[in-house]
Amino acid sequence: MLAFDPSSVFLSTYLLAQEEAEAVAEGGFDIVTLLNQALNGVGIVGILLLTGLGLAITFGVMRIINLAHGEFIMLGAYVTFVFQDAFGMDLLMTIPFAFLVTAIIGAVVELTIIRRLYGNPLETLLATWGLSIVLQGVVKLIFTAQLKYVKAPPYLSGNLPLLSDDAGGALISISYYRMFIIAVALALLGLTMYLFYKTSWGRQIRAVTQNRDMAKCLGVNTKLVDMGTFAYGCGLAGVAGAVISALKTVAPPMGQDYLVDAWMVVVTGGVDKLIGVLAGSLLIGEANAVIAFILNDPTARVIVLAAVIVLIRYRPEGLFTIQKRS
């Protein structure tokens, strides 16, 4: 649905843009640049969706205030780096490994830390915060603080021109890599929704989060479900880290950058419905892109953050939450 959205905009404004394109003056506020920016917003949305999805599981479904989410993204990026560096693997090939390794680390963390803190949100918050410091420290000890190089797959370089001027120069275009990120994000969202709403594992997860004791009575192995779900959420964060590693910077503190964004996305979208994460990232990504274009990046961040705070003041459950009795 998302992927078609911008192209329909193009169709309706195609003629207008074509005329405008010919009369493109130097600089200024022309429609082509604005359309480009809207498309750029889609690129930002892809990254937000990808990095927010794991948190939608660990916080949205499991209610764990997971401040180490960014570090799992960082771990995924480092797994990609290691596999590329040691075995010369293509970035795409390393994605399953990024998922597996971060999921296993997530399972260990659940087993040793999170499991003992269910029902104590504040202590979970402190524990995961500590965990994030530890994970950063460990990665820095092993790999040093230097930035790491991850090679982007060559076949994903280049741009898809959506609108060209007479000379054949691309006026509106989106890079293949950004499209790849959006595709991965949407595919993972689809897969996760399928897992949660169509499989018995998903039903068990939802049963456990809604009424743990009752689920236990009915024979659900709640401990295994908890561990599996947390590991899956961490694995998704790992995939996000692997995919963005070639476009961003790989360094021990990189996760912090995504943590706040991921939280904004999940909180805005609403924590009960997985589709909320798509809505949240669309809203925040596009708002960010448009405001940043009109004003500038730091201001856009301030405005969007302030807007999210206002939003959760009036709708603490987020935008996409069904009203239910407590």
Partner 1 sequence: MAKPHVSDTNLNRRKFIQYGSLAVGSTIVAACTGGGSGPSESADLGEDPIKVGVMYSTTGTIAIVEKSLQDATFLAIEQINTGTGPWEANGAGIAGKKIEKVVVNPDSNWDLYNQMSKRLIDEDQVVCVLGCYTSASRKSVLPVFEEKDAILYYPVYYEGNECSSNVFYTGAAPNQQITDSIPYCYENFGPKGFFIGSDYIYPKESNRIAKAELEKAGGTVVGDEYAALGTTEFITIINKIKAAKPDFVLSNLVGDSIPAFYRQFKDAGITSDDIPIMAYPTTEEEIQAMGPEYSTGHYTSFNYFQTVDTPENKAFVEQFKAMFGKGRVTNGVMEAAYLQTFFMAQAMKKILEEGGELTPGNIREATRGQEFDAPQGKVKIDPDNYHTYLYSRIGKWKEDGQAEIVFATDAAVKPIAWSQTLYKGRVCEHTTPDDRSDPTKETGKDLEPVFL
Least distance from partner 1 to the Cβ atom of residue 198, Å:
27
**Number of CB atoms found within 10 A of residue 276's CB:** 24
Q: What is the largest CA-CA distance in the chain?
A: 71
CA separation, residue 201 to residues 134, 178, 195 (Å): 32, 32, 7
Query: Which two tokens mark 133?
Result: 């410091």
Question: Based on CB atoms, which residue is closest to partner 1, 216 or 315?
Answer: 315
Binding mask 93-112 for partner 1 (x = CB under 8 A): --------------------
CA neighbours within 13 Å on the CB side: how many for 292?
Answer: 17
Find the binding residues for partner 1 in span 192-251 (CB under 8 A): 246-251
Site string for partner 1, 26-45 (x = CB under 8 A): xxx-x--x--xx--x--xx-
**With CB under 8 A, what is the number of residues at the site for partner 1?**
68
User: In the window 291-310, what residues touch partner 1 (CB under 8 A)?
Assistant: 292-293, 296-298, 300-301
105 vs 192: CA distance, rounded Å: 20
Residue 137: both structure tokens together: 């420290």
Start-to-end C-alpha separation, the chain: 33
Q: Which of 52, 235, 241, 318 binds partner 1 (CB under 8 A)?
A: 318
Contact assessment for residue 244 and residue 43, using Cβ atoms and an 8 Å cutoff: no
Interacting residue ranges for partner 1, rule: CB under 8 A: 26-28, 30, 33, 36-37, 40, 43-44, 47, 63, 65, 119-123, 126, 129-130, 133, 136-137, 140, 144-149, 151-152, 157-159, 170, 173, 175, 177-178, 246-254, 256-257, 263, 267, 271, 288-289, 292-293, 296-298, 300-301, 312, 316-318
